[in-house]
């Protein structure tokens, strides 16, 4: 079977997925990896990507591209999101990535929502139901209303865990007033979600690092198990309990919690408070967790382009113009 690769270049984390497939919609994982490079470090304050953040991220992206080639990927796609979209000097990052052998495509919020929907619902058996996908990232959070496995509408809000941590939680551990200010800021921003009436009959689906980490902490997973995380139900009450528990301990203690990556320990408090407020404001008592997300959506979209018998539209899923290839 041919091999394909996807690289998700997020504001906080870079994630690689290499898989074999001979038809759209199904694949066998060959290799996966992720590294926290914090591309969006300092972006909230300056509007610029730092040279150090660019260097860290390009180094990992180049390594992942080399791994993809070594494993025989015939087609690959590297996608960047919020930090690269917003940065004044994003061309410095894109030029460096290209020079390192891995061109990176910056996608719009709408394309990010479409790809995330593909990946988030792929692992869930009830993906045809009406749902709202909550995708908490380092630089932004996307809320996508989906039905029949396809997006019906989405909104991207500048509520990323890196941004919120840098702006509201510089102290360790964060004081109560800082946590209250963060929560109030999130509640105000959530008035920008346009389809709240339609949410009444929808189910909440959570994807990305904050949500999967909270599930792993509740399940006491060590090591992390994506199969146990996918389908797990997180209640609003439990998210609030986890939020208070995490906020009450110093960073050095959070860094040693089983199920919590040390590199995510400084931003998990902001993520947990963000998730709790989102569920409360949007009227959800719980959400279903999925380990699938943007990375898996990038891969699935690549399979549609290359393996669908009649091209990208064969399965009814719209495909964007092809991104840069990492294959030699």
Write the CATH number for 146: 3.30.420.150
Same domain, 87 and 132: no
Report if residue 298 sits inside a domain: no
Same domain, 68 and 149: no
Same domain, 285 and 166: yes
Residue 269 token pair: 């408090």
Mean pLDDT by 10 residues, the chain (328 residues): 95 94 90 94 92 96 96 94 93 96 93 91 76 91 87 89 93 94 94 76 90 94 90 96 96 91 92 96 93 94 85 38 31
Report if residue 44 sits inside a domain: yes
Report if residue 56 sits inside a domain: yes
280 φ, ψ (degrees, to nearest 5): -65, -50
Same domain, 137 and 238: yes
Same domain, 259 and 227: yes
Report which of 84, 86, 87, 79 is spatially closest to residue 116, judged by C-alpha positions: 79
- CB atoms inside a 10 Å sphere around CB 281: 16
Same domain, 79 and 170: no
- 72: CB partners within 8 A, 6+ apart: 3
Q: What pLDDT is stored for residue 268 in this prediction? A: 96
Supply the DSSP symbol for 172. Answer: S
Report if residue 217 sits inside a domain: yes
Same domain, 61 and 141: no
- CB atoms inside a 10 Å sphere around CB 102: 24
Same domain, 128 and 100: no
Supply the DSSP symbol for 89. Answer: T
CATH of the domain at 95: 3.30.420.40
Report if residue 50 sits inside a domain: yes
Same domain, 133 and 269: yes
| Last residue of one domain, picked from the residues 108, 138, 160 | 108
Say what the pTM is: 0.86
Report if residue 325 sits inside a domain: no
Same domain, 96 and 130: no
- The tally of domains found in the chain comes to 2
Range of the domain at 25: 3-108
Report if residue 323 sits inside a domain: no
- CB atoms inside a 10 Å sphere around CB 248: 12
Supply the DSSP symbol for 64. Answer: H
Same domain, 55 and 136: no
Tell me the H-state helices in the chain: 43-46, 51-70, 82-86, 90-99, 109-122, 161-168, 176-189, 209-219, 226-229, 236-247, 251-254, 268-282, 294-307
151-157-159 Cα angle (round to 5): 125
Rg (CA), the chain: 19
Report if residue 322 sits inside a domain: no
Distance CA 228, CA 219 (A): 8
Distance CA 55, CA 299 (A): 25
Same domain, 136 and 233: yes
Pairing of strands 286-289, 233-235: antiparallel
| Last residue of one domain, picked from the residues 83, 108, 133 | 108
């Amino acid at each position: 079977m041919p091999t394909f690769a996807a690289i998700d270049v997020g504001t906080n984390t870079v994630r690689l997925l290499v898989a074999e497939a001979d038809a759209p919609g199904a694949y066998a994982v060959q290799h996966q990896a992720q590294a926290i490079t914090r591309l969006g470090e300092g972006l909230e304050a300056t509007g610029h990507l730092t040279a150090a953040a660019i260097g860290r991220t390009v180094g990992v992206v180049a390594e992942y591209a080399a791994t993809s080639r070594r494993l025989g990927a015939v087609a690959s796609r590297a996608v960047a999101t919020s930090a690269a979209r917003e940065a004044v000097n994003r061309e410095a990052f894109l030029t460096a990535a290209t020079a390192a052998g891995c061109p990176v495509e910056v996608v719009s919020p709408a394309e990010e929502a479409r790809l995330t929907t593909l990946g988030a619902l792929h692992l869930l058996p009830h993906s045809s139901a009406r749902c709202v996908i909550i995708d908490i990232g380092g630089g932004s959070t996307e809320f996508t209303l989906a039905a029949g496995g396809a997006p019906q509408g989405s909104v991207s809000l500048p509520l990323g865990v890196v941004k919120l941590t840098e702006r509201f939680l510089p102290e360790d551990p964060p004081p109560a007033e800082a946590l209250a200010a963060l929560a109030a800021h999130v509640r105000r921003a959530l008035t920008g979600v346009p389809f709240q009436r339609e949410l009444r009959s929808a189910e909440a689906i959570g994807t990305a690092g904050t949500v999967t980490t909270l599930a792993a902490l509740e399940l006491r997973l060590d090591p992390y198990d994506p199969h146990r995380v996918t389908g797990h139900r997180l209640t609003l009450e439990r998210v609030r309990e986890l939020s208070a528990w995490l906020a009450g301990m110093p960073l050095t203690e959070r860094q040693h919690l089983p199920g919590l990556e040390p590199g995510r320990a400084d931003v998990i408090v902001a993520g947990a408070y963000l998730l709790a407020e989102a569920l409360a404001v949007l009227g959800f008592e719980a959400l279903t967790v999925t380990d699938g997300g943007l990375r898996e959506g990038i891969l699935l979209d690549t399979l549609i382009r290359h393996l669908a018998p009649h091209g990208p539209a064969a399965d009814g899923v719209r495909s964007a113009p092809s991104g840069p290839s990492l294959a030699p």
